[in-house]
Structure 1
Amino acid sequence: MRKTAAKLLTVAALATSIATVAGGTAVADPAAGVTPRAIDFVGVGSDTTQALLNQLATDYNASLTSSTAPRVYSWDAIPTGTITPKTGATAITRPNGSGAGINALNANTNATVDFARSSRGPVATDPTTDNFVALAKDAVAWAAKSGGNAPANLTTANLKDIYTCTVTKWNQINASLPNATIKPFLPQTGSGTRSFFLTAINGGVTALTPGACVNSSVQENQGSDTLLNDVNAVVPYSVAHYIGQVYFGKGSGADVQGPLTIRNIDGVVGGPVDTTNKVINSNYADTQYGRVVYNVFRKDDWAPAVDTTRAATLRGIFGDGGWFCTNGTADIKSFGFLPLDFGCGSVTTS
C-alpha cells in the first residue's frame, strides 16, 4: 500500500521572496576531472530535478569538513552515451528520465548507482524493493508557443481528447479558435513527467495510452526544442522547472523555456504560477496536477537488516531531518519547487 502520499501533497506557507542560494553555482554532472569515489552517493535519472540535485550536492559537499566523508554526486539525464558513475563501476548507458533512473538503480548495486531521481511516485510496475523518499513539491501544466493558436486554458477533458487524438483541430475545442491541426508532444517513454501527465489527464488511476498523432521525441522541459517552435504545438511541462528557467536563470544552453509560455488547466484561479511571488500557485498545486518529487533508494541500502554507518549517513542526508530537508530549503525554492511543510524525507512504498 502506498503511504504518506496524501500528506505529501500539502505545501509549505511561502514567503514572498526567494532566499539566496548558498554555496555557489551548481554544475552539470560531477565537476570536470572529478570521478566519484566508491564510497560516495551517486544518483541518475529525472531531468526535472537534476539541476536541483546538482545544487544540493554542491552545497552539501561544501559543508563537509572531513575528506573521508561520502560526498553526493548526480549525473544529468543527457547527453546520450555512457557514463561510469563512480570509481570501480562498469560503464552504463546514461539514464534519461525517472523510469530509466529507477531501472538503472535496480539493475546495479551501490557499487555503481546509489539513488535515482524521480519526478513521479511509485507505480504498480515498480519493484517492491525500492523506497521513494520525498524531496519537494512540483506541479505539471502544459506549454505552448507565445502568440500561437493554443488558448490560455484547456480542461482535463480537452487534454485527454488531444492526447488520444480524438480532437485534432483547435476549432473542435472552441469555434473561435483557428481551423488548424493541433500538434501534441510528449517526452520520451520513461520520463516521470510524461507518466504523471498521462495519468493525471486520465483520471489519476492509470496512464493514458497516447494516440498516433502524438510525437514523443522531445526532451522534457526544454522549450528550446525547434519542434516546439510551432504555433500549434502543446507539451506537458514542470511548473517548477519553468519557474526556475524564467525567473531565476536556472536554465542554460538547451535547458530554457524558449518561445513557450506555461498554460492553465481547468481554469484554476491564478493559473499554475503565482507571478507576484514567483512560486507555484498553491491553488494549482492542490489539484491533481500537483506532485511530489522523490529520490529512490534500494530498501537494503536505506535500512538494511543489520544497520550500518553508511546507511545512517545516507538517511542523514536524504531522510526525515536530514541535510537536504533542513538545509536545502533555499536551494529548493530557488529552483522553483515548493518545500514540503511536512513529509520531506519520508518514505513511500509501492
Structure 2
Amino acid sequence: MGAEAAAALMNRLSADYNATVPSSTPHFYSWDTLGPSPITPKTGAFSIGRPSGGGPALLTLNSYSRTTVDFAASTQAPPYMDPPTFKTVVLGKDAVTWSAKAGGHAPANLTTQDLYDIYSCALGKTNWAAFGGGAGTIKPYLPQAGSDTRAFFLNAIGNPTLGACVVTGPQENQGTDPLLNDVDVIFPYSAGHWVGQANGHTTATDDKGTLTLRGINGIAPLTATGTLNPVFAGSTYGRVLYNVFRYSEWNAFPATPQSTALRAIFGSTGYLCSAAGRATVAGYGFLAVPAATCGT
C-alpha cells in the first residue's frame, strides 16, 4: 500500500518475489490505492480503511502494528523524528511533470513561474494563449487529497494559494478519467508511471489515455526513446521511490523473523535490489538506482 505512482510496480515485484520462495517463507503483498474499502491487509489484521496514497499509508503504518501492516510505499520521505519512528529505504527514481491532452491547446513547455500562476488562477494567466498555446480557458486539475504526486508537484512549483479555477478530483496518474479528456486541461503526472503505462503496464482504470507529458523550464521529461529523462529526474522535479518501515522493526537486534524477511525483500541484498528487481523497476518506467544505493 502507499504511493499510487508505484502501485503497478509493487504489484509486479511482489508477484515476482513470491514466485522465487517456498510457501513456508513469508510472502510479500501490496495493496492498490483504489478498490473496495475497508480492507484486511493480512490474516489476523485489523480491518482498516484503504489508504488512498502515500500520505495516508504512512499514517496507517504509524497507527497500527506489524500484525496489520509492515511497510508503506512512498515518494516522500517521512518527517524526521527523534527518536526515529520510520526507516526509509530507496527503490528507484521518479519525476513529476504536467500533462495535457494530445492535440489540445497547451504548449510543449511551461516554466515553474507559469505553473505557479496557472494554479493561482492569476489575472491574465488563465488562457493558454498567454503561454504560447492555442486560445482556450485553462482547466487546472489536481489529484485527490492525500496524493503524494499532488503534494510534491505543489511544493515544486512554490506552494501557490490555489485559485478558484482549480479542481480537485481525478485519481492521480489515471489519464482515462473523463474529466481529463479536454483540450484545455492541465494535470500533474508521475513521469515514471506514465512511461510504464506507455510500455503496456495498464489496466482499465490505470492508463495514460490521451494525456501527454510536457516539459518544465525547457527540460523534457522524456528522452528521445521515450524513457524517463535522467536530467529531468535530477532537477527539482525529481523524486525518490521509497519503501518505509517502522525503525524498530527494520533495525531489530538481535534480528527477528520479521526483520530478516523485510531485508530479504527490500534490503540492499534483497530481491527488489537484485538485478532482476532493478530491471523490473526500469521496465515499469522508473530509473533504477545504483546497486550501492538501492535498499539503503
Task: Give the TM-score normalised by structure 1.
Answer: 0.79
Q: Say whether 1:256 aligns with 2:184.
A: no
Identity of aligned residues (%): 48
Q: How many residues get paired?
A: 292
Q: Which runs of 5+ in 2 are unaligned?
A: none
State the partner residue of 2:128.
170
Aligned residue identity for 2:144: Q
Distance 2:82 2:143 in 1: 20
2:105 to 149, 152, 161: 149
Q: Give 1:67 shift.
A: 2.1
Aligned counterparts of 2:260 and 2:206: Cα–Cα separation in 1? 35
Classify 1:213/1:126 alpha carbon distance in 2 versus 1 (closer, same or farther; 3 Å).
farther
- Determine the C-alpha separation between the residues in 1 that align with 2:42 and 2:258: 16
* 1:70-128, Cα deviation, whole Å (9 max, x unpaired): 00000100024211111111211111110011111111111011111112223469994
Listed as ranges, the gaps of 5+ residues in structure 1 are: 1-43
- Matched letter for residue 228 of structure 2: I
Shift of 1:283: 1.8
C-alpha separation between the residues in 1 aligned to 2:6 and 2:54?
Answer: 10
Q: Deviations over 1:152-207 (max 9, x none)?
A: 10101100111122132223334x641x22111111121111111111111xxxx4
Q: Counterpart of 1:47?
A: 4
Match of 2:293 among 338, 343, 348: 343
Q: CA RMSD in A?
A: 1.8
Distance 1:236 1:344 in 2: 27
One-letter code aligned to 1:139 = A
Contact 2:53–2:147 (Cα < 8 Å) also in 1: yes
Tell me how far 1:48 sits from its aligned partner: 0.6
Aligned to 1:321: 269
Q: Which has the higher helix share?
A: 2
Matching residue of 1:189: 145
Cα pair 1:121 1:293 within 8 Å, conserved:
no
CA contact (8 A) 1:183 1:214 kept: yes
Instruction: Name the amino acid aligned to 1:311.
Output: S
| Secondary structure at the counterpart of residue 97 of structure 2 | strand
SS at match of 2:259: helix
User: Which amino acid is 2:127 matched to?
Assistant: K
Q: For the residues of structure 2 that align with 1:126 and 1:284, how far apart are their CA atoms?
A: 33
Matched-pair contact (CA < 8 Å) for 1:120–1:193: no
1:279 maps onto 2:224 in alignment: no
Q: Is the 8 A contact 1:140 1:238 kept in 2?
A: yes
**Contact 2:91–2:240 at 8 Å: present in 1 too?**
yes
Report 1:1-350 matches (<5 A): 44-64=1-21, 66-123=22-79, 128-166=84-122, 167-174=125-132, 177-178=134-135, 180-202=136-158, 207-246=159-198, 248-268=199-219, 271-276=220-225, 278-326=226-274, 327-341=276-290, 342-346=292-296
Which secondary structure does the structure 2 equivalent of 1:92 belong to? coil
- Compared CA separation, residues 160 and 126, structure 1 to 2 (3 A): farther
Matches of 1:227 and 1:62, distance apart in 2: 39
Assess, with a 3 A threshold, how the Cα gap between structure 1 residues 332 and 171 changes in structure 2: closer, same or farther: same
Q: CA, structure 1 residues 245+126, in 2 after alignment: closer, same or farther (shift >3 Å)?
A: farther
